[in-house]
Structure 1
Amino acid sequence: MKQPAPARPGAQSLPPSHGVGPTTREAVTHGSFRASPSDPHVAAREVLLGNGRRLPGPNASHTPNDGPAGGDALHREVTEQLWQRGLAAVQLDEPLPHDRFVALGGFLGTAVPETDPAVQPYVEDGIVLNLRSEHAPTPDVSLQPFARNSLSLHSESSGAALAEQPRYIVLMCVAPGDDPEHAMTVLVPMREVARRLAPHTLELLSRTRYRDRPKAPPVARRVDGHWVFSFRDFLDQELQWTHTGPHTDGEAVNGALRELLAAMYEPEPAAGVRWRRGLLVVIDNTYYFHGRTAGATAPPRSRRHLQRLRIR
């Protein structure tokens, strides 16, 4: 099935075509969802993110760092791949120097500042986040990107207003660490998740949003003819939600959320990025969920180091 083409980098994204506000015939229902150990996605998540499956990697093209066209060739290659599949994977001879990495982000759009106080020791120029695997597994959500935890599947900044959500996540490998078979970045196409869901489930999700983030978009919305999700697997934490529409039992909404999670963790067609020095990956946040498998159990002899830009 051919994937609809994402917007070319730098283009203005169209507003979502499915937004629902209360009317005289609609009700507002509040509820909460917490995953149960018996939910189907829990075991599937452990297999997918616990290095229990060998995931195919996305095809990566090779682009020399210092070809005759310089950065223009890389920009064209990234643009073309994003246009074709909502994902770009390019193997460079060496990681880009800081100024060219920032310039690539500027070509794609506007970099989102890294403002979380907990990550400031890892930030350069306010926008480049250095993801180094320095910590043992930790329940501290702020430190998990720098630890050996797995990271649950999510869309980036799912609780933010649409204007504040990044369109692209740019990742570049500076050092892969000891074992590239661990701590892989996992990619799950949203179109395949939507294909597994019943129309009634998608309708329920299109009228449901995070309760404590009133500016966040619905969990599911239609954009340019395809379904886009703003959603994070909250693991065993409670998700409080608000549903706007014809009177709906809260269990129906919770059932839709369980179906969504089960579809996200289906074994096919997830892909896993095995990081190599100089590998550059750009993810369209409206086309893929992403997460990370667990790191190696023993402390690594050499730490993995990725750099990240988030681009509006």
Structure 2
Amino acid sequence: MSTALPIHTPSGMTDRLTVLTLPPQLRAHISWLEQSFTATDYPDPARQNAARSELADRVEGLATVLAQASSAVRDDQAVVLRGLPAKSTAMVVAVASAIGPVVPSRPDRPLIDDLKPNPAADEQTRTGDLRVALTPHTDNSSVPAPPEVLLLAFVHNGTPDSGGESTLTHIDDVAEALDATDVELLQEPRYPSLNVPTDTGLAPTLTSVLARSADGRLTVRYRDAALDAGIASDLAPETPSAAHVNALHRFTATVREPARQTRVRLDTGDMLIIDNARFLHGRTEIEANAVRHLKRLYTRLNP
């Protein structure tokens, strides 16, 4: 079932956004799920699937909504699921597994990140802990294989006037505004990338900003801070040419144009799901006293 969602989009990207509502009966099964599907089970894809399957047997209509969500992500849509009891980690993991196996972003990272603005946060903390606006980016763009699907489950998201609107930018909307030469340059693996602040002091990884998937679609791995740090690093394996740097600057300017971004006001109980290789995401600044808590997790994408 679809439902209204506060959306601001000068570019008309609502065609790329699917909004679905989970059955309200889901809340009645939190206690059962948390007893039968515990933290030690979360990393096991077989247990994820079993918990979701039994939950779907108990909640009429859940299987249909989750199938619609999974299909929409495969069809190049951003998805918002509404009515998720996001305070329950068991429920978040079980629902997320409908898209694919829930996996950590890399082996040394937890399966689920709890993100809350930290009043003492500075540039050396995780970006999710900051209140400042976040420019459009790919999650974990510097790792050898960035996570396929990003999911953000909102336990609490302040009030409508407290900031923290999510922004979505589809790579096709960016590429159509670029010169073909820039698109080609950005596909060459000539860009040193460093996952700051966590990997500060390590050698950057050479990446491309754009690539083509097996089915010919354009994919993206981009985070401005990571690329700036990689290019500036004395440990970079090579320095990109002036042509490559200029192409990157034009890409960054295009990504930041408001006309390329869709702003979505997500509320408590919403889960945002995006293909991490097709959408860049960010958010607006969070007001000083706003209370915001979300759970971030990743899945592979079911075929």
Q: Is 1:131 matched with 2:108?
A: no
More helix by share: 2
Where 1:186 maps in the other structure, the secondary structure is strand
Q: 1:226 to 1:115 in 2, by over 3 A?
A: closer
Q: 1:128 to 1:274 in 2, by over 3 A?
A: same
Where 1:171 maps in the other structure, the secondary structure is strand
Q: Which amino acid aligns with 2:298?
A: R
Are the aligned partners of 2:22 and 2:62 in contact in 1 as well (CA < 8 Å)? no
Q: Tell me the equivalent position of 1:310.
A: 298
Match of 1:149 among 126, 129, 132: 132
Which runs of no fewer than 5 residues in structure 2 stay unpaired? 1-6, 27-58, 193-202
Are the aligned partners of 1:160 and 1:213 in contact in 2 as well (CA < 8 Å)? no
Where 1:188 maps in the other structure, the secondary structure is strand
Q: Which amino acid aligns with 2:139?
A: E
Q: 1:115 to 1:160 in 2, by over 3 A?
A: closer
Q: Tell me the equivalent position of 2:210.
A: 220
CA distance in 2 between partners of 1:229 and 1:65 (Å): 36
Q: 1:189 to 1:243 in 2, by over 3 A?
A: farther
Where 2:82 maps in the other structure, the secondary structure is strand
Deviates more, 1:97-106 or 1:55-64: 55-64
Deviates more, 1:205-214 or 1:152-161: 205-214
Where 1:109 maps in the other structure, the secondary structure is coil
Q: Is 1:55 matched with 2:8?
A: yes
CA distance in 2 between partners of 1:251 and 1:148 (Å): 34
Q: Tell me the equivalent position of 2:29.
A: none
Q: Tell me the equivalent position of 1:266.
A: 257
Are the aligned partners of 1:159 and 1:210 in contact in 2 as well (CA < 8 Å)? no
Q: Which amino acid aligns with 1:113?
A: P
State the shift of 1:132 in Å.
Answer: 1.4
Q: Which amino acid aligns with 1:62?
A: T
Are the aligned partners of 1:180 and 1:276 in contact in 2 as well (CA < 8 Å)? no
Where 1:175 maps in the other structure, the secondary structure is strand
Are the aligned partners of 2:66 and 2:98 in contact in 1 as well (CA < 8 Å)? yes
Q: 1:169 to 1:143 in 2, by over 3 A?
A: same
Q: Which amino acid aligns with 1:128?
A: I
CA distance in 1 between partners of 2:127 and 2:140 (Å): 15
Q: Tell me the equivalent position of 1:87.
A: 78
TM-score by length of 1: 0.68
Q: Is 1:198 matched with 2:157?
A: no
Identity of aligned residues (%): 23
CA distance in 1 between partners of 2:94 and 2:242 (Å): 48
Where 1:107 maps in the other structure, the secondary structure is coil
Q: Tell me the equivalent position of 2:90.
A: 99
1:230-270 deviation line (CA, Å, top 9, x unaligned): 111128944427779xxxx8221111011110111122231
Q: 1:90 to 1:111 in 2, by over 3 A?
A: closer
CA distance in 1 between partners of 2:222 and 2:191 (Å): 9
Q: Which amino acid aligns with 1:158?
A: S
Q: Tell me the equivalent position of 2:156.
A: 175
Q: Which amino acid aligns with 2:173?
A: E
Alignment of 1:209-248 (within 5 A): 209-211=190-192, 212-214=203-205, 217-223=207-213, 224-234=215-225, 237-240=228-231
State the shift of 1:220 in Å.
Answer: 1.1
Where 1:225 maps in the other structure, the secondary structure is coil
CA distance in 2 between partners of 1:193 and 1:66 (Å): 40
State the shift of 1:217 in Å.
Answer: 4.2
Are the aligned partners of 2:78 and 2:275 in contact in 1 as well (CA < 8 Å)? yes
Where 1:268 maps in the other structure, the secondary structure is helix
Where 1:196 maps in the other structure, the secondary structure is coil
1:142-176 deviation line (CA, Å, top 9, x unaligned): 333122122222111111112xx111111111111
CA distance in 2 between partners of 1:62 and 1:172 (Å): 14
CA distance in 2 between partners of 1:170 and 1:195 (Å): 26
Where 1:66 maps in the other structure, the secondary structure is helix
CA distance in 2 between partners of 1:86 and 1:148 (Å): 27
Please give the root-mean-square deviation of Cα atoms over the aligned residues, in Å. 3.0
State the shift of 1:93 in Å.
Answer: 6.2
CA distance in 2 between partners of 1:139 and 1:279 (Å): 28
CA distance in 2 between partners of 1:157 and 1:144 (Å): 11
CA distance in 1 between partners of 2:102 and 2:272 (Å): 16
Q: 1:225 to 1:176 in 2, by over 3 A?
A: same
Q: Tell me the equivalent position of 2:189.
A: 208
